[in-house]
Structures are given as structure tokens and as C-alpha cells.
Copies of this chain bind each other. A is one copy, B any other.
Amino acid sequence: MAKGFLLVLSGPSGSGKGTVSQALMKKRNDIKFSISATTRKPRPTEIDGENYFFLSEEKFKQMEENGEFLESAYVHTNYYGTPKKFVMDEIEKGEIVLLEIDVQGALQIKKSYKEAVFIFLLPPTMDELRNRILKRGTETEEDIKTRFNNAFKELDFVGEYDFFVVNDEVENAVKDIEAIIHSEKLRVKRHNNIKLNITGQGGK
């Protein structure tokens, strides 16, 4: 049986990783979405184990100490993390797991689980990135400036990734990611019985 893999889709704010992830999940039914754990309270419509794993701060910190997260972060008074067990179990079963995450989180995963497939999503131009940040229309001028400057700095980390995808059109970005998935499924190292499948007999 072939092992699956973790696909880390990451990029700066305004790269469109959320939109691209959703479009990819909508198009494919052979990809599992990695569910994050958080200590923040569930919103009325959110379901535990579906939108997030909702944990107490005590439980979260205990898991963190035990090395049970692929990455974790403290954002706005709450903890967030990617539980390792869910990802590893699915990979063992041969599944492709998609994790959409910011650049800092991806760099943490690069350290804890370098076997993942790392994709950096880029805006086509910085002007377009600025437009996308502006379009949200929910932030102060100061916030927009910070977000834009952070995005500019984070582009330096593209060198840490395996692949880059320019998100000019969501449809094109999805096609690029699908080619990466197709190709990674053909990777020899994730199959340990290729000869056996062909011949009915093992290798040397």
C-alpha cells in the first residue's frame, strides 16, 4: 500500500491561500483537510472535530509539551495548533492531507516534519497583493501597511519550500497544485512494493 502525504499550502496574507484551498477541496474528494486545534471558544455554528478541535488551555499545553502538534502558535489570547496524530493516521491510510497555513506555521512544520510537500502561494504582483488586502475593507490604514510589509518580508522564505504557485487566477493555481499532487502520487519513496505489484514477487 502506498503512503499518503501532507500538502502544506502556505503563503503571505493576500496570496489567496484560503480561496485556493476551498476551490481545491470543492473540486477533489480525495483530499482530507487538516483540522486545527484551538483554545478559543466555539462560535454558535462551529462543530467540534469539524471546524476545529476545541480544547481547554490545560489540555492544549499538555499536548504541546508532549510534542503532539506539528506546529502551534499563540494569536490574540488563544492557542492554535495542528494535531500530529490526525495527519499521521491519514497519511498511513494513504490519504492526502491538505494543511492551509501561514508562513510562520509552515516553517515550523518544515522542522518537525520535512517529509511534507511544501507549496508557497504567491500573488502575481505586489500591486495585486495590495488590492486584495484593500478589498477586505475591514482594516485600518495602519493594519494594511503592516500586513503588506509582512507579506513583502515573507516572500524571502519561498526558498524554504519545494514548489511555488503564482495565484493569478484561482483556477490556474488549483491546476498547478493538482499537477503537484498527481506527480507526488507517483513518487517512488512512498511506495514500498512496486515490484511486488507488477510481478507478484518482492525485490532483492
Contact flag A203-B163 (CB < 8 Å), given A179-B179, A186-B176 = no
Q: Does A164 contact B (CB under 8 A)?
A: yes
Find out whether the CB atom of B152 lies under 8 angstroms from the CB atom of A199: yes
Considering the chains assembled together, what is the distance between the CA atoms of A122 and B188 in angstroms?
Answer: 12
A123, A200, A203: which has the most chain B beta carbons within 10 Å? Answer: A203
B-chain residues with CB within 8 Å of residue A200 when the two chains form the complex: 126
Q: Are A188 and B164 in contact (CB under 8 A)?
A: yes
How many residues does chain A have at the interface if contact means C-beta atoms less than 8 Å apart?
34
> Whole-angstrom distance between the alpha carbons of A165 and B185 in the complex?
10
Q: Chain B CB within 10 Å — which of A122, A163, A183 has the most? A: A183
Give the contacting residue for A188; candidates B159, B183, B203; CB below 8 A: B159
A107 within 8 A of B: no
Q: Are B198 and A155 in contact (CB under 8 A)?
A: yes
> B123 to A203, Cβ gap below 8 A?
no
Neighbouring B residues of A155 by C-beta, 8 Å: 194-195, 198-199, 203
Alpha-carbon gap, A173 to B164, bound state (A): 25
Q: How far is the CB of A183 from chain B (nearest CB, A)?
A: 4
Q: How far is the CB of A140 from chain B (nearest CB, A)?
A: 24
Please, could you name 14 A-B residue pairs with CB atoms under 8 Å apart, sorted by A?
A122-B194, A125-B198, A126-B199, A155-B194, A158-B194, A159-B203, A163-B183, A163-B186, A163-B187, A164-B186, A176-B186, A179-B179, A180-B182, A182-B183
Further pairs besides A159-B203, A179-B183: 16, Cβ < 8 Å: A120-B188, A122-B198, A124-B198, A126-B198, A152-B199, A155-B194, A155-B199, A156-B203, A158-B188, A159-B188, A163-B188, A164-B188, A165-B186, A179-B179, A179-B186, A182-B183
